[in-house]
Amino acid sequence: MTRILETTLFLFLAASFAACQNHTAASGDVRQAAQQAAIEESTPEMLTTDKAEGKIVKVTPDYIELDNQTVITLPVIGSDTTTIYLTVGAEKMEGKTALTETGLAWAGHLATVFQHTGILQAYSDKDNGSMQTANITAQANECELNFFKAETSGIMMSSIIQEFKGRRVLVVVQPETASAILAQLSGNPKLRVPEATYENLFVILATEGGKAEIRHLLY
């Protein structure tokens, strides 16, 4: 009888130990999964050039044509949709505010691509590189250049969308501000525009109070 009790007790303890081990392993798996989910949630989604739909070869007031034969039809002028061309300021000289030769070339190329495309207003933040980049395209469209208040980017974008319904607007800002704009309009807070990448251009088709359509292109 004693042996039976001892055997039963041994089996009970062994089963309890195994259950404890399984519970510990399961808890560890849950913690690991939670940690992985947290990492993925906080990892930014970099909008690198390889994620773009294609490179712009032609822009008119009515459509954009890409190098892969894709044609993006733009909202009709006078509609309820605002078309916003968002990009970052071109490359500046290290320690200075002036654009490098490469930066000037990029800014000039942007102006050539968007010359006479119906841009009614251009905006830039107070960064000199952004201002120089935006100003060349503003001149190519014979429109004014206004300041974009980066610290209130959400309010600025809402104002632009409301004021320029059915029109085309250029916005040139620093990468962190561009990231904030895209995160706000897309509803994805993880979107990030990389530093020192100047050929990204985002076409934002937005209606007041509605969700924006964002197209990632290169110029």
To which residue do tokens 């059915």 refer? 166
What 8-state DSSP symbol labels residue 141?
A: T
List of residues 6+ apart from 14 with CB closer than 8 A: none
Q: How many CB atoms lie within 10 A of CB 37?
A: 10
pLDDT in tens, 96-153: 889 999 999 999 999 999 999 999 999 999 999 999 999 999 999 999 999 999 999 9
pLDDT (mean) for 12-38: 59
Q: How many CB atoms lie within 10 A of CB 61?
A: 13
Confidence (pLDDT) at 37? 44
C-beta of residue 23 within 8 angstroms of C-beta of residue 15: no
Share of the chain above pLDDT 70, in %: 81
HEC per residue, 49-116: HHHCCCEEEEECCCEEEECCCCEEECCCCCCCEEEEEEEECCCECCCCCCECHHHHHHHHHHHHHCCC
What 8-state DSSP symbol labels residue 126?
A: S
Is residue 181 predicted with pLDDT exceeding 60? yes
pTM: 0.82
| Cα dihedral 166, 159, 103, 44 sign | negative
| Cα dihedral 140, 143, 144, 149 sign | negative
More confident residue, 140 or 35: 140
Burial class (CB in 10 A: 0-12, 13-18, 19+), 6: exposed
- How does residue 209 score in pLDDT terms, banded at 50, 70 and 90? confident
Decide the pairing of beta strands 213-218 and 200-207. Answer: antiparallel
The pair of three-digit structure tokens given for residue 121, joined into one six-digit string: 């207003």
Rounded mean pLDDT of the chain? 90
CA distances from 8 to 12, 22, 80 (A): 6, 21, 79
